[in-house]
Amino acid sequence: MNILLIGLNHQTAPVELRERLALDRCDAAEVYGGLPRPADEGEAVVLSTCNRVEVLVAAPGDPDEEVAAVSAFLAKQGGTEARDLAPHLYVHQGPEAVRHLFRVASSLDSMVLGEPQILGQVKEAYRRAVSQRATGVVTNKLLHKSFSVAKRVRSETGIGSHAVSVGYAAVELARKIFDRLEGLEVLLIGAGEMAELAAEHLLRHHASRIVVANRTLARAMDLARRFDGRAAHLDELPALLVSADVVISSTGAEQVVVTPAMVKAVLKPRRHRPLFFVDIAVPRDVDPQVNSLDNVYVYDIDDLEGVVSANQAARADESIRAERIVEEETLKFMDWLGTLAVAPTIIDLTNKAEEIRAAELKRSLARLGPLSEEQIEALDILTRSLMQKMLHDPILFIKHAGHRDRKDRYVELARKLFNLDREDVPDPNRNR
Amino acid sequence: MIDALVRGLALALYILAAGAFLVFLFRESEPARRGGSILLLAGFAAQTLSLILGTITAGQVPVMSLAQALGFSGWALAGVYLAVSLRYRLPVLGACVSPLAAVLLLCSALSPAKPAQAGPILQGLWLSAHLVTAFVGYGFLALSFLAGVFYLVQEREIKAKRTGGVYRRLPSLGTLDALNQTSLTLGFALITAGIVTGAIYAQVALGAFWRWDPKEVWAFITWLIYAGLIHQRLTVGWRGRRAAILSLVGFAVLCFTFLGVSHLSGGYHSFTALERFVVK
């Protein structure tokens, strides 16, 4: 059984090509129907996201033919010639294909290292393949393994635990301060793309309410409607600070908007609840001195960028550990694949021996004349144990042949030696 | 014999749990965290069994020497952590509690064990109640101390904008403050119960509720500090940094009450004084 992975991703193909090839919105039956289905036991899974299109194939037979067939299929989907597509395609075979799939599922091959969506996309691709009955023993095991590898990478390395956008960094910090965002009130001062994005992030992570304050009330009301919140005028700021928990500030003001005195005055009415300022404005809206007040935390845009870039570096470090996990699991999977080849051979071997035994026993019983029940049983036991003892060592030998490459060779040898594939060779039994 | 065996098992499990939590601290590995929790739970179960056996032989909760008191506080600490971890997910705290419990049990194991029978004066349900409530209360207050320390460290990291390993491993300020408050409230209720049951026991056994013995004085001071902290938290809404610092001060005084007073001054609460009542 060969495992092949043919595809292209954000590193090898431009977005125009990826767009044309995108198969995730197509009907699953159509995709799998168009896929060249190799001989009887071929298995296939198609993974298509905005950053990659990949076809995983497990099939007996010639890998080169398989690659050509899949490339032709992809070219047809993209409306191009296989020749033009070829430079963008990568082909992985055997352990490389397994490793590649594990890396993709663990988000090590993603544009943003460690982003969490890809695992869900791989699961969805697998679900589609299963619904089309395109999977089999090998792909089922391989895909399930890729889910558990991704889970292992996530839990044993910190690759997914670092926020890599300013908006998400603000959410992460808020979580480290308040623990849960449920019940929190977000105060958005001013407007601007990044500030609105940060507010959106907080709301998506279950912050409860939002108040929008602006120098012009009309603008505040516009934004408030968008976020389903309350509008207020900037002059009300001191009062607004009493109930707010996270303040995102992004005004175009030249002077600071939030002064230490203003914040100090609200500490008592707030009953010292923590207050978190996310200051995205340049020049800054919140006086840096505010950060030194008890239970008040101020992060300006540079601080947030600092968090993001430190996180990116940390993710890269963690990926080294993740690669090791992927390597380990790839070896384990290839071992399993090796045992898969062994089992049918052992079954064939015992079947053939049993066939011979049964035939010979029948012939001998016919010649020996009437025998008692006990005698027949004794003969049966005798022949059976002869057979089992003869086969014991060869079976153990194939089972424990050790390294995979050697195992393949021994399995082949055993099949030839015992002629398990019933090829036409002179049969001494029949010639007699 | 069985007692020593079970105690050794508990110690070994605590040490293993400490090791597992250490691995968690360095590698942030989830299996290590789970293993540590399970080992700590097993160690706690073993020590509980050893304490039950000890109670049966001595006829009293076996806290009659400094060594036994240390071992018993290790037990209380581990138990309290396990109880709290049902509600809060605080593996970093486990990484502190497991080695601490191991060290306390080790100290208690190293000092020569004197199989003793509690004398008539050390008998009675009130004394048992006094010991158990006081020690479990200490356990909770120790936990609120640890939560306070972590709070201060984490707060410093966030204020200084350092989002490195320490920041990542420590829980959120909200969790730490909530833990500080919960364990403070429970601990305070328990030491109050400890003082009350102690006074009742003193009335029954010694004929006086309160004798201004040095330990009693210091226990009273400790109680006042914690009462003040709880008052500030509930009425003024103190939280975070100030509450954390005060829980540190409270715990320092508590440690002095527990260890220092017995050594520096006499009084019938000291362990040397206690020995007189033990039947060898």
Domain ranges of chain B: 1-116, 119-280
SS3 A420: coil
Q: Which of A144, A139, A162 is nearest to A54 (CA)?
A: A139
CB–CB of A176 and B154 under 8 A? yes
The residue written with tokens 């605590």 in the block is B14
Residues A88 and A221 in one domain: no
Which of A157, A161, A297 is closest, CB to CB, to B158?
A: A297
Residues A194 and A341 in one domain: no
Whether residue A13 is contained in a domain is answered as yes
Q: Is the residue at A327 inside a domain? A: no
Percent of chain A with pLDDT over 90: 32
Spans of chain A below 70 pLDDT: 24-25, 37-41, 161-164, 401-406, 423-432
pLDDT given at position A329? 94
Segment A59-102, tens digit of pLDDT: 877 888 888 888 888 888 888 888 888 888 999 998 999 999 99
Same domain, A75 and A90: yes
What is the identity of the amino acid at A3?
I
Q: Which of chain B's residues have a Cβ under 8 Å away from the Cβ of A310?
A: 163-164
Q: How many residues does chain B have?
A: 280
Number of domain units in chain A: 3
ipTM: 0.82
Closest CA to B21 of B95, B111, B121: B95
Residue A209 lies in a domain: yes
Q: Quote the CA–CA distance of B145 and B161 in Å, as a whole number.
A: 24
Select from A161, A186, A213 the last residue of a domain.
A161
Chain A: residue nearest B171 by CA? A176
Instruction: Judge: B173–A161 Cβ closer than 8 Å, yes or no.
Output: no
Same domain, A97 and A235: no
CATH number for the domain harbouring residue A48? 3.30.460.30
Residue A315 maps to a domain: no
- Cα dist. B8→A71, A97, A392, B43, B80 in Å? 66, 51, 48, 10, 21
- What's the confidence (pLDDT) of residue A162? 67
Instruction: Give the pLDDT confidence score for residue B116 in this predicted structure.
Output: 57
At A271, give phi and psi (nearest 5°): 55, 40
Residues A156 and A226 in one domain: no
Domain closes at, from A294, A309, A324: A309
Helical H runs in A111-236?
117-131, 137-156, 166-178, 193-204, 217-227
Judge: B178–A179 Cβ closer than 8 Å, yes or no: yes
Q: What is the CATH number of the domain that holds A266?
A: 3.40.50.720
| Beta strands in A236-347, from DSSP E residues, in sequence order | 246-250, 275-279, 296-300
Q: Is the peptide bond before A370 cis (omega within 30 degrees of 0)?
A: no
Based on the domain organization, do A305 and A189 belong to the same domain?
yes
Q: Which residue matches tokens 């020497």?
A: B65
Q: Is the pLDDT of residue B148 over 90?
A: yes
Domain that holds residue A56: 2-161
Q: Which of A100-109, A267-276, B116-125, B202-211 has the lowest mean pLDDT?
A: B116-125
- Predicted confidence at residue A431, as pLDDT, reads 47
End-to-end CA, chain A: 39
Same domain, A123 and A193: no
Would you name the residues of A annotated as active-site residues?
50
A297 and A151 part of one domain: no
A172 with A302, same domain: the answer is: yes
Task: Please indicate, yes or no, whether residues A215 and A236 belong to a single structural domain of this protein.
Answer: yes
Longest dimension (CA), chain A: 115
Mutation target for B interface from A156, A161, A176: give the one with most B CBs within 10 A. A176
Pair A147, A284 in one domain: no
Model confidence pLDDT, tens digit, residues A340-389:
778 888 888 899 999 999 999 989 888 888 888 899 899 999 999 999 99
The answer to whether residue A215 sits within a structural domain is yes
Specify the pTM: 0.67
For residue B275, give both structure tokens: 């020995």
Residue in B with minimal Cα distance to A294: B241
Residue B266 confidence (pLDDT) above 70 = no
- CA-based nearest distance B206→chain A, Å: 47
Q: Based on the domain organization, do A183 and A120 belong to the same domain?
A: no
B271, B111 contact by CB (below 8 A): no
**Which ranges in B28-90 belong to alpha helices (H)?**
30-58, 66-85
The tokens for B206 are: 């010694």
φ/ψ of residue B117, rounded to 5: -110, 125
How many Å separate Cα A225 from the centre of its chain? 38
Cα–Cα separations (whole angstroms), residue B24 to A22, A200, B43, B103:
42, 34, 18, 20
Assess if residue A322 is contained within a domain: no
Quick one: average pLDDT of B251-276?
A: 69
